[in-house]
Amino acid sequence: MNIAFVIYRYFPFGGQQRNMLAMAQEAISRGHGVRVLCREWQGDRPPGVEVELLTVKGFANHAKMASLAASARERLAAKPADLVVGFVKLPGLQAYYAADPCFAEKAVKRGWWYRLSPRTRTYLAFEESVFGRHAGTHVLEVSVRERPYYQRHYGTPDQRFHTLVPGISPSRRAPEDYRIVRNDTRQALGFTPSQHLLLSLGSG
């Protein structure tokens, strides 16, 4: 099977991006062909993953998203895939990785002027293309929390939702000798076992 993943941009430290890459690598390990369609790719390109950079125009974010959708549609028409998995809400997806909250729920809490703006209308149209009752797109949800909102606004049937089980890479789990590692690290940094440390992490 040839699978196309569509994401706005890839960078190594994004959570959504890392999940997309993990899914792509799992698909490759099972013998499937994988392409990633995106506006931008930062970092190394993993073996077996074909990266196609899309031409995206526009100044406002919603204009860029509309341009991405048109560019992806053209590429997929020229070179079809057996399965199209989106990490952004776009028309024409067979599956959507649902990591973002329901935009319609946000819009309904704003004033009428917000709902009439070009930005809102674009995002609502794209969201409906994924979650609409007759859309047919399968939703890979990371949390069931947003499901009632999508169903309230779009009437999405339950059978189109598939809840993903949380997974932690073995390399990110505490090792069996974590106490030894803890003490050695504290010693190397000049801290006693009882001193408090503040660790700040960032992605760049």
State the pTM of this model. Answer: 0.82
Nearest to 6 by CA among 51, 42, 59, 61: 51
Domain ranges of the chain: 2-163
Backbone angles phi and psi of 11, in degrees to 5: -140, 145
SS3 61: helix
Backbone angles phi and psi of 86, in degrees to 5: -105, 140
- The class that CATH gives domain 2-163 is alpha beta
Q: What is the DSSP letter of 31?
A: T
**CA 171, CA 144: separation in Å to the nearest integer?**
27
pLDDT of the chain along its 204 residues, tens only?
A: 999 999 999 998 888 999 999 999 999 999 999 999 999 999 999 999 999 999 999 999 999 999 999 999 999 999 999 999 999 999 999 999 999 999 999 999 988 888 889 999 999 999 999 999 999 999 999 989 999 999 999 999 999 999 997 766 777 778 889 899 999 999 999 999 889 988 887 765
**CA 30, CA 151: separation in Å to the nearest integer?**
33
